[in-house]
Structure 1
Amino acid sequence: MRKGIKASLSLLLAMTAMGEAAAQSPSTQPKASGMETDVTKIKQALLGNWESIAPEVRPSAAKNADGSLKPFYLKRTFKYLPSDRFELEIVNSADPYGAVPLARLKIGGHMLWQGSHPIAAGAQKVNFIADEAYEVTPLAAGFADVLNKVASAGYAPWAVNATQSIFGKTFVPFALKEGTNFMEYDLVYLRGDLLFWGARNIDGRGFDTEQNRPTNLQIPLVRK
């Protein structure tokens, strides 16, 4: 089990380490030209709570011995709030059915709307910036043990169900540096009670640059 948890930790780190992307002030972001009416309607419809239909799988940057990509299993809950604020919770598991949870991540921040995305009519480019909160909670003893080896500096001992904030701090496992905020270049497409974000790049690359922004749709969240 410990070996499996270590492997899953590697996947978690590969999926969440977005390098040194720092938050940018909304006032410095380019505004979508001619899209304000549509975006306003999308934002209004987006308000509320969303969740995964079932445990999901994504490709990670970590590879098996044969060169194939290892899977990353997770469930998501998401809340869109007024003033472009959001709250996101991700639970990573070691198995496809979510029976062995490893870690919970909670992120809070803002969505910056960057204009239309060509994948579907009404799809929008959106940057997610964790400029309010970022918390990590180990859910398995082996996971906490690994964090105590690779992320002890500046933190209390990691323990199961003991949440710690990594917001604005150096956190080596996720390549976060002090004073910077986690950020992803993503997309949003709303269709009725289904909310689509971008599908992970097939080679496991994160959404850490404009060039790595997703091109296609991921399995959707459903309205709660």
Structure 2
Amino acid sequence: MTSKAMMLSAAIVAAQFGSPVVAQSTNEAGLDGQFASIACEVRPQPNQDGTMGEWWLTRDITIADDRIDAVFTTYAGPGCGFALQELHFGGGIEIVGPSDVIDGAVEADLTIDDYVRIKPLVEDFAAFLNSAPDGACLSAEWTVGQERDILQDGCLVLGVQPNTPTVEYEILATRGDMIFFGARPTDGTFIVSPDKRPAALLVGAARK
């Protein structure tokens, strides 16, 4: 086959199947919107004694213009009937490229460096934060319903180190009115290095 014929053949194939489009923004990737959990969710969480436990939550997520703003509400147990606290956080999203493991998903790096705020919802949780050693979670002034930003000073009793923006190596996908983030490691660790990037999707959240 001549070079001209090969080029023509390649053009025909491209016309049939289309050239791959690499999204450069959350809008181009179809990720922008407001989303919320459709049910109570559970995550693995390591206990202080080395055993594995669980924590229960619901998510409220806004993605727009290459950034994420989210509120995770945590609960005392299954069914999410008794809320303990809200975790508010925000930062940027960089689309890396299409996922190699999930069809239609993209790899994205989330940098949480704008704010990380805690809002106790019950007296017991506020008391837990106030009982932390001095400097381990701001000063002992936590009150129910008040948000306080812990990004700069950290909150060691919640595993947040001082002045340490978090980068999460995610995969993100939309299916209809649902958005899916990557599944978390079963050992309760975080996806804070490229080798931790998930290879499966987490339960989805629905567009509001």
TM-score calculated relative to the size of structure 2: 0.80
**Structure 1 runs not aligned, ≥5 long:** 1-33
Give the counterpart of 1:170 among 154, 158, 163.
154
Matched residue SS, 2:42: strand
Q: What is the letter of the counterpart of residue 193 of structure 1?
A: D
Q: Does 2:83 match 1:101?
A: yes
Partner in structure 2 of residue 72 of structure 1: 55
Q: Does 2:197 match 1:213?
A: yes
Give the counterpart of 1:117 among 88, 95, 99.
99
Partner in structure 2 of residue 197 of structure 1: 181
Q: What is the letter of the counterpart of residue 185 of structure 1?
A: Y
Q: What is the letter of the counterpart of residue 95 of structure 2?
A: W
CA gap 1:170/1:71 in 2 versus in 1, 3 angstroms:
closer
Give the counterpart of 1:139 among 111, 117, 121.
121
Partner in structure 2 of residue 31 of structure 1: none
CA gap 1:169/1:41 in 2 versus in 1, 3 angstroms:
closer
Matched residue SS, 1:39: coil
Q: How does 1:34-113 map to 2 (within 5 A)?
A: 37-40=21-24, 43-44=27-28, 45-62=30-47, 67=51, 69-82=52-65, 84-113=66-95
**Structure 2 runs not aligned, ≥5 long:** 1-18
Partner in structure 2 of residue 126 of structure 1: 108
Kindly indicate whether the alpha-carbon contact (under 8 Å) linking 1:92 and 1:103 is maintained by their aligned counterparts in 2.
yes
> RCO higher in 1 or 2 (8 Å CA, sep ≥ 6)?
1
Counterparts of 2:107 and 2:186, CA distance in 1: 19
The percentage of aligned residue pairs carrying the same residue is 27
Kindly indicate whether the alpha-carbon contact (under 8 Å) linking 1:131 and 1:181 is maintained by their aligned counterparts in 2.
yes
Counterparts of 2:157 and 2:198, CA distance in 1: 23
Larger-gyration structure (1/2): 2
* More helix, by proportion: 1
Counterparts of 1:57 and 1:181, CA distance in 2: 24
Deviation, 1:41, is 7.9
The CA RMSD measured in Å over matched residues stands at 2.3
